[in-house]
Amino acid sequence: MQISQTTRVGGAGLLALVATYGIGRQAYGLFVPTFREEFGLSVDVLGYYASAAQAGYLVATVATGVLTARLGPRVPVTSGCLLLAVGAALAASATGPLLLALGVIAAGTSAGGTWGPFSDAVKNQVPTSGSRHALALVNDGAPVGLLVASGLVLVAGDRWRLAWWAFAVVGLVAAVAAWRVLSPRAAADPKGDGARPPLGWFLNARSARLLIVALGASVTSGAYFAYAPDTAQDAGLASWTGPAMWAALGLAGAASGAFGGGIADRYGLRGPLAATLLVLAGSTLVLFVAPGALVAALGSAALFGIGFTTGFALMVIWSQQVFDDRPTTGFTLTIVCIAAGFIIGPSLFGVLAAHVGRPSALLVAASPALLVALVPPSKDDRAGARDSV
């Protein structure tokens, strides 16, 4: 059976993001209640852990942009998956807060090596006709990873360390797949000079809109990923609620995110992106309205999965259009803004929840996504019939 390049590259990306995003970067919130109890950590300290992991992700993202330009996507993606395996092993063997922090930070940092390089991998290894499908498949790795993480957590039960050892195995498998599939070399610069693009290439009227939206959406998303399960359990719901929420998030996200490319082709970016940002904010507000209701918690997670996965898939496509000539370099800048939002979101929510209460923290967390829903792509980036009117 012949597997197409679209499926090979998209599948390797999906597996890499299952490990480093769905598990390493986004599954942390599942363990916040357990870490609070086992290690005696407060809610704001755990917020700092999450933000430190996102700071590591930011540093890794910048380094990855340089490495990918010089070495191609294979080295950074494989390294990111291996770092996830190391971080998960550290967390699984942690005997105190310090080792736990190192493991969590390493796991969160790992994602910085995987998402960006697939912009180049898709451009250089996938036919143009399959590029949007491949990018949507890569982006689907995050919600699928949450499904994997949720299933492992439910199977492990109180043996949370067993789940983290399983996470380490997933990282090793993803590293092997990336090494086998991805190109070992960077593509030649078509201009032949390899010159660094000017500042105006990074920051201009088109890119500014993208970066503002990426930042706002990520502040809301970072707070949700870090604290949504803990918020539901703090309101009195059972301990299995967190994994169930993440399973609902992963199912809804995986079901909707793979269609991001088709949605952009048919409807353009403007309307669908605004809609997904409103869904993203609305999912947070559902927890504000009914934090102690199981149906509301599961519905909130499903809404978030749709808004997050589809919204960020559309942002990947948007970035490809804005930075078409140097996709990984441009997407690295986009990821920097995403990482900044994920740093701000958990710390801001943790501080507000500790000092003024969770309801106020939830309202503040939802606001950035609501505000950036008002920022449309420029006319040059509105790909689709509906955007042209």
Render 135-195 in DSSP notation, one character per residue: HHHHHTHHHHHHHHHHHHHHHHTT-HHHHHHHHHHHHHHHHHHHHHHS-SSPPPPTTSS-P
Where does the pLDDT of residue 257 fall: very low under 50, low under 70, confident under 90, or very high at 90 and above? low
In a domain, residue 229? The reply is yes
Indicate the number of domains in the chain: 1
Cα–Cα nearest to 351, from 63, 88, 135, 46 = 46
CATH of the domain at 53: 1.20.1250.20
Length of the chain, please? 389
What percentage of the chain carries pLDDT values higher than 90? 42
As to burial, measured by CB atoms within 10 angstroms (0-12 exposed, 13-18 middle, 19+ buried), residue 128 is exposed
Alpha-carbon separation of residue 367 from 23, 94, 362 (angstroms): 26, 36, 9
Is residue 352 one of the residues assigned to a domain? yes
Q: What confidence tier does 192 reach under pLDDT thresholds 50, 70, 90?
A: very low
- 83-95 per-position pLDDT tens digit: 999 999 999 999 9
The 10 Å Cβ neighbour count of residue 127 is: 11
Higher pLDDT, 189 or 280: 280
Domain assignment present for residue 190? The answer is: no
Q: Which residues of 2-38 are buried (b: 16+ CB within 10 A; e: fewer)?
A: eeeebbbbbbbbbbbbbbbbbbbbbbbbbbbbbbbee
61 and 74 in contact (C-beta within 8 Å)? no
For residue 302, being part of any structural domain is answered with yes
Distance CA(77)–CA(118), nearest Å, equals 9
193 — pLDDT class (breaks 50, 70, 90): very low
Question: How much is the pLDDT for 225?
Answer: 87
Q: Distance between CA 84 and CA 341 in Å, rounded?
A: 21
- 131 in a domain, yes or no? yes
Question: Under a CB-based contact definition with an 8 Å cutoff, are residues 70 and 128 in contact?
Answer: no
Do residues 357 and 231 lie in contact, with contact meaning Cβ atoms separated by under 8 Å? no
Question: Helices H, strands E: what count in the chain?
Answer: 17, 0
Residue-wise pLDDT tens digits, 222-245 = 999 888 988 998 889 988 888 899
- In tens, the pLDDT along 267-312 reads 777 889 999 999 999 999 999 999 889 999 999 999 999 999 889 8
Query: What is the pLDDT, as a whole number, of residue 100?
Result: 96
pLDDT at 320 > cutoff 60: yes
Alpha-carbon distance of 95 to 142, in angstroms, equals 29
Domain enclosing residue 126, as ranges: 5-183+203-383
pLDDT class of 194 with cuts at 50, 70, 90: low
Let me know if residue 353 belongs to a domain. yes
DSSP-assigned letters across all residues of 234-288? HTT--TTHHHHHHHHHHHHHHHHHTTHHHHHHHH-SHHHHHHHHHHHHHHHHHHH
Q: Is residue 189 part of a domain?
A: no
- Is the Cβ–Cβ distance between 284 and 300 less than 8 Å? yes
pTM comes to 0.77
**Is 54 within 8 Å of 29 (Cβ atoms)?**
no
Q: Round the average pLDDT of the chain to a whole number and report it.
A: 86
Q: What is the pLDDT of residue 243?
A: 87
CB atoms within 10 A of CB 325: 11
**Alpha carbons 20 and 82: distance in angstroms, whole number:** 9
Q: Does residue 18 lie in a domain region?
A: yes
The C-alpha atoms of residue 353 and residue 287 are separated, in whole angstroms, by 13
Output the six-digit token pair for 63. 């380094």
